[in-house]
Structure 1
Amino acid sequence: MKKILFSLFLLGCSASFAHAHMFWVNVFESDAHQPPHAMVSMGWGHTLPMDDILTDPNSARIGVEKLELYDPALKKTDLIKIKSKITEAEVTNEHFDIFPADLAAQKIALKKDSLPGVYQIGAISKATCYTHYIDNKGRYRIKHKSKDELDNIKEIKGSLKNQSFAKAYITLGKWTNPKPLGHKLEIIPLTDLSNVHVGDMVGVKVLFYGEPQSTSLKNNIYITAGSNTFGLDEGFNLQSFLVEGKAQFRVQSKGQWIINTMKGEDVTKDGKLKDLYGKVDTVYHTASLTFNVK
């Protein structure tokens, strides 16, 4: 089973987000009472808005390094993060286990004199290594460690390092195009995400270390887009290539949508990632952006 899970993880990183765990930020705005507020939480798994806990004891888990709120003037405030300790079941029997779920759920209550504009919520995961190997007893193993940190190895099947970035927005008043937050891999909207309707075109720009990315044979980067009302529950999504950093797609349904992108780089002895040579084979950065469609 672990062999299958790791193979799907590698396939997801190298080919399609349909099989890979996604990392995202949920934002649901409420203006039933004034001033308005927003409910914020973390997302992890395969489908919106909640799929799995981030601190699951199995191989599919992720830590949160930063969870931050940026006001329209880019003043930063730390938000409440999840506890990074691996979760243990509090109730267990022969039929099921029950785990407490900390998804960093919190309320951001705006005030009468709050600065109008776009508030950005940015999350950065902890960089994590995954190594799939066969031990000296012939057992398939997956560890959250790099190759050089392991012993009792008969054969290495694959090793990678991954870090994920996620963004979402709260809009107070008029939308203005948000500035980059400086994430290593970042999706920046070129469309007013506070007022998207079914059938609208949504455009984004993708930056890697601040540089616009384009899809090519040597740079296998693109965006995918989906929703729990379109595609994600069935394991498919929309896809769009990048040209000079830009891509777009047409929204197909109401509800919460997520845009993803991924950038993979091979580790070589003399390349720019040479410090990781002998530790992992590939480094992946993933990024997501979530918004709601009316």
Structure 2
Amino acid sequence: MKISKLILAGAITTSTLLAHGFWLNSFEATSHGSKLVTVGIGTGHNPTIEDSVSDRVKLKSFDLITPEGKAIALKKPLKGLKDIYDKDSLKIVDSNLAMQKISFGKESEKGTYTASLATQTGTFIKYLDKNDKTRFTTKSKDEIRNLKKILSTIKNTVYAKTYFVNKSWTQPKAVGHELELIPTNDISKLYIGDTITFNVLYKGKPLESGYVTAKSALNKGDNALFSNVRKGKAKFVLTNFGQWMFTVNNKKDQDEVTISDTASATINIQ
């Protein structure tokens, strides 16, 4: 059975710094004769429009990358939004997902476009207070009151991408993230049972070891699938329609601090 539409979306799963996962969604439409793609940020626990972006999330970059490599700045989520309604156990707020429409005309550049974002690096500290209680904070060490002992420190950065094809597939290039998942086969022409392949890069070079996880949003109760990273390569077989989330994490210990980079991708098969 042919997959009529496949969108590869960068995703960020739940990290130690964020209570929710963090990713990019893209939604494609051609019903009016021209190609429209709506790009927006996703957050929550599943790769859908599930929640709204918290003010605590700080982005370092959020861009649309053309097939030729030109970076166009995209609109970031708003800050300090007020409640629309909050009475009788009913609360209404703006859906702060930085949704924006990309329209392709007849003369638009052909190829694979990439929307990508990177968060600012956050610090997460686990420590004992002077009463020997274990506590957690995103504050710096100097800002912690009642500190007895630092148990662990993690510096975490999350990355997200979404890829979509205008007319014909071209191989997307690395955008310079510390950790990247890049598809290497035509995501606009896949069938159930086909294999999707990725380059897994760390600092621009093939990640030597690790693993990528894949989980179907249609089968949340199922165990995740795993693919070992071998010389910067990973692959999965597409077994059903719906959304799939792929995630890779790379950790390095450096001067008693764990450096944690997370990047992932969500495939929407429609």
The answer to whether TM tops 0.5 is: yes
CA RMSD, aligned part only? 2.6
Residue in structure 2 matched with residue 31 of structure 1 by the alignment: 30
| CA distance in structure 1 between the aligned counterparts of 2:21 and 2:222, rounded to whole angstroms | 13
Higher relative contact order (CA 8 A, sep 6+): 2
2:148 to 143, 154, 175: 154
Q: How many residues are treated as equivalent by the alignment?
A: 257
Per the alignment, residue 240 of structure 2 pairs with: 253
Q: Secondary structure at the match of 1:239?
A: strand
Change (3 A) 1:123 1:236: farther
Contact 1:226 1:257 (C-alpha < 8 Å) held by counterparts: yes
Q: Alignment identity in percent?
A: 33
SS at match of 1:101: coil
Query: Which residue number corresponds to residue 224 of structure 1?
Result: 213
Aligned amino acid, residue 199 of structure 1: G
Q: Residue 135 of structure 1 aligns with which residue?
A: 129
- Provide the residue aligned with 1:70 in structure 2: 65
Give the CA deviation at 1:161.
Answer: 1.1
Alignment map for 1:106-185 (pairs within 5 Å):
106-136=100-130, 141-185=135-179
- What residue is the counterpart of 2:194 in the other structure? 200
Please list every run of 5 or more consecutive structure 1 residues that lacks an aligned counterpart in the other structure: 1-7, 14-18, 216-220, 269-276
Q: Name the amino acid aligned to 2:247.
A: N
| 8 A Cα contact 1:225 1:239, kept in partner | yes
The structure in which a higher percent of residues are helix is 1
CA contact (8 A) 2:126 2:134 kept: yes
- Identify the structure with the greater strand proportion: 2
Q: Name the residue aligned to 2:39.
A: 40
In the TM superposition, what is the alpha-carbon distance from 1:151 to its structure 2 partner?
Answer: 2.7
SS at match of 1:68: strand
> Which of residues 75, 78, 82 in structure 2 aligns to 1:80?
75
Alignment partners' CA distance in 1, 2:82 and 2:149: 31
Equivalent residue for 2:99? 105
Consecutive unaligned residues in structure 2, runs of 5 or more: 1-13
Structure 1 residues 104 and 173, CA gap change in structure 2 (3 angstroms): same
Distance 1:121 1:145 in 2: 30
Q: Per-residue deviation at 1:88?
A: 6.0
Corresponding position of 1:282: 258
Distance in 2, matches of 1:235 and 1:82, equals 33
Letter in 2 for 1:227: S
> 1:97 Cα shift?
4.6
Whole-angstrom distance in 2 between the partners of 1:84 and 1:234? 35
Aligned residue identity for 1:45: G
Q: d(CA) in 2 for partners of 1:88 and 1:225?
A: 36
CA distance in 1, matches of 2:125, 2:91: 27
TM-score normalised over the length of structure 2: 0.85
Structure 2 residue identity aligned to 1:210: G
Q: Distance in 1 between matches of 2:259 and 2:53?
A: 21
C-alpha distance after superposition, 1:116-138 (max 9, x if no partner): 11111111111111223343466
1:52 to 2:51 alignment: yes
